[in-house]
Structure 1
Amino acid sequence: MTAAVRDEDWVLVTGATRGIGRAVAFALAEAGYPLVLWARTGRELEEIAAEITAQHGTPVRIASVDVSVAAEVDKAVADSLAGIATLRGAVINAGGGIWSSIEEMAVEDWRAVVGTNLDGAFHTLRVAMPLLRGHRGAQLVGLASDSSYGSFPQRGAYCASKAGFRSLLETARRELRESGVRVTVLVPSRVDTYFRGKQPGDRPEALSRTEVAEVVATLFAMEPRVEVREVQLSSIHSSFGPFPEVAPEELTDV
């Protein structure tokens, strides 16, 4: 059984106000972890912090930050991580996607996707890794995508940035190994969230954000010596990478 959560067991979650990030924040708060929440929207951060504190009584710190901008990340560190000597974990979740062919994609759209998914991950890792090193058995989780395994038409920026993110996490694993920090690449397929203008409920065949968050909470609950290096996660009714979907009526009883 893992040790009880302590006051100093802070966990950083990026992209924390919507979708998977919000669900992860609530799942970890329910487990008793004090949280540092980053997202672009200050008002939504204040609302989620108040809701978590009211429901679970766990401490919450917040910072409004665009992780693609290094200076904003540095400011978020000063605003929300001041006095925190170590991190029990970090969940790098902030991300986004714009679908377009390579020929038609605007340069600013390319930069927006790569800036958040890859640059933002680098900026976050750069400041989080020294704090994770100080907490043996710390857990780092990166939200990748099944698009990181292969290339799809119209998804050049998204696939490239997510593949780069997976590679960056593997580098972080090797650089953190001697400190006993565990690194997990979480690779979900479709999730029923706000991604690319969708609304929860638009894709009922997909994973729910709560289901993904439960996996993250399980990773944090494992013994400090156990590292789950990668989790491929999908609803059986939704595709993973290029594989076709299976409708509920097509499932066979065994």
Structure 2
Amino acid sequence: MAYALVTGASRGIGRAIALQLAQRGYDLLLVARSENQLTTLALEIGAKYQHQAHVLALDLAAPGAAETVATWATQQTDQMAVLVNNAGYGLWGRFEQLGLAEQQNMMQLNMSLPVALTHALLPALHKVPKAYILNVSSTAAYQAVPSLSLYAASKAFLLSFSRGLRYELKTSNISVTCLSPGATTTGFTDRAGMGAELQATANKVSMTPEAVAQAAVAGLLAGEAEIVPGVLNKVSAGLTSIVPKGIVEKIAAGIYEKYL
């Protein structure tokens, strides 16, 4: 049976993607920090879809986490068919006022982990007839976002990495897709430290994790290069390629910085 590995699977988009993949016939390898949430999800997958789900509770920002996950995953199965790099978070605030250590931790999780895990698992993915990599970025990847500067930059890195890797693997059995959701009801704003006013603004345009996951898995298995779920998000991402960058950044600052 083919397996899919999902990082950051305990809640939000990662959890919803895991359920979508189980519904489509995959067994699951679930990785996140919360063992209780992972176990609950594994039981739900077994009850609803009669598929296996193995769990690994791990701080994915810790040194050597990618190697630990890759070793564990290859011990569970020799039929690795999907890798979902979903773990990540944002920090809201001016760069010089946020702690450097926490910003570096975010960069480790948002950039270094997916790169290291992808590199470690590519040999396993090459062994199956058809394999998929889904990197979860953000609409923030399409422009600089003042007060989310490093977060947006980390997601732009992941988008660029996905594009380049997809081209490198275009003649192989592996398809690479980048998912760039906009505001989603995942608790992102709480983790990022955003104020109540900004959270309320985000909630007005937020998609559900289930809607994002449905679009993500459908696009992934169809071999799409990039997925931006939601009409408003598609329009927003598209405009960044034609509107002068200075104007785009001024608009973004007007949304995020005024609440600092």
Q: TM-score, normalised by structure 2?
A: 0.81
User: Structure 2: which 5+ residue stretches go unaligned?
Assistant: 192-198, 238-247, 253-260
Q: Aligned equivalents of 1:134 and 1:91: distance in 2?
A: 17
Q: Aligned equivalents of 1:239 and 1:230: distance in 2?
A: 14
Q: 1:47 aligns with which of 30, 40, 45?
A: 40
Q: What is the CA distance between 1:94 and its match in structure 2?
A: 0.7
The one-letter amino acid of 1:232's match is: V
The one-letter amino acid of 1:142's match is: N
Match of residue 216 from structure 2? 216
Q: Aligned equivalents of 1:180 and 1:126: distance in 2?
A: 15
Q: What is the CA distance between 1:235 and its match in structure 2?
A: 5.1
The one-letter amino acid of 2:206's match is: A
Q: What is the CA distance between 1:39 and its match in structure 2?
A: 0.7
Deviations 1:101-121 (A, max 9, x none): 122121112112111100121
Q: What is the CA distance between 1:100 and its match in structure 2?
A: 1.6
Match of residue 206 from structure 1? 206
Match of residue 232 from structure 1? 228
The one-letter amino acid of 1:192's match is: T
1:186-197 equivalences in 2 (<5 Å): 186-197=179-190
Match of residue 97 from structure 1? 90
2:115 paired with 1:119: no
Q: 2:126 aligns with which of 133, 146, 151?
A: 133
1:73-88 equivalences in 2 (<5 Å): 73-88=66-81
Q: Aligned equivalents of 1:37 and 1:56: distance in 2?
A: 15
Q: 1:61 aligns with which of 54, 57, 73?
A: 54
1:136-147 equivalences in 2 (<5 Å): 136-147=129-140
Say whether the 8 Å CA contact 2:166–2:225 is kept in structure 1: no
Percent identity for Structure 1 against Structure 2: 25
The one-letter amino acid of 2:205's match is: E
2:131 paired with 1:151: no
Q: What is the CA distance between 1:16 and its match in structure 2?
A: 0.4
Say whether the 8 Å CA contact 2:216–2:227 is kept in structure 1: no
1:183 counterpart SS class: strand
2:26 paired with 1:33: yes
Q: Aligned equivalents of 2:206 and 2:36: distance in 1?
A: 29
Match of residue 109 from structure 1? 102
Q: What is the CA distance between 1:221 and its match in structure 2?
A: 4.3
Say whether the 8 Å CA contact 1:24–1:213 is kept in structure 2: yes
What is the number of residues matched between the two proteins?
Answer: 233
The one-letter amino acid of 2:190's match is: G
Q: Aligned equivalents of 1:144 and 1:237: distance in 2?
A: 13
Match of residue 160 from structure 2? 167
Q: 2:169 aligns with which of 168, 176, 184?
A: 176
Q: Aligned equivalents of 2:8 and 2:54: distance in 1?
A: 14
Deviations 1:158-211 (A, max 9, x none): 01111111122223223323322111111111112111317x998253111111
Q: What is the CA distance between 1:57 and its match in structure 2?
A: 0.8
- The answer to which structure has the higher helix fraction is 2
Match of residue 245 from structure 2? none
Shift in CA distance, 136/80, structure 1 to aligned 2, threshold 3 Å: closer
Q: Aligned equivalents of 2:231 and 2:101: distance in 1?
A: 33
Say whether the 8 Å CA contact 1:136–1:179 is kept in structure 2: no
Q: Aligned equivalents of 1:220 and 1:59: distance in 2?
A: 21
Q: What is the CA distance between 1:86 and its match in structure 2?
A: 3.5
2:4 paired with 1:11: yes
Q: What is the CA distance between 1:40 and its match in structure 2?
A: 1.3
When structure 1 is superposed on structure 2, of 10-19 and 103-112 the one drifting more is: 103-112
Q: TM-score, normalised by structure 1?
A: 0.82
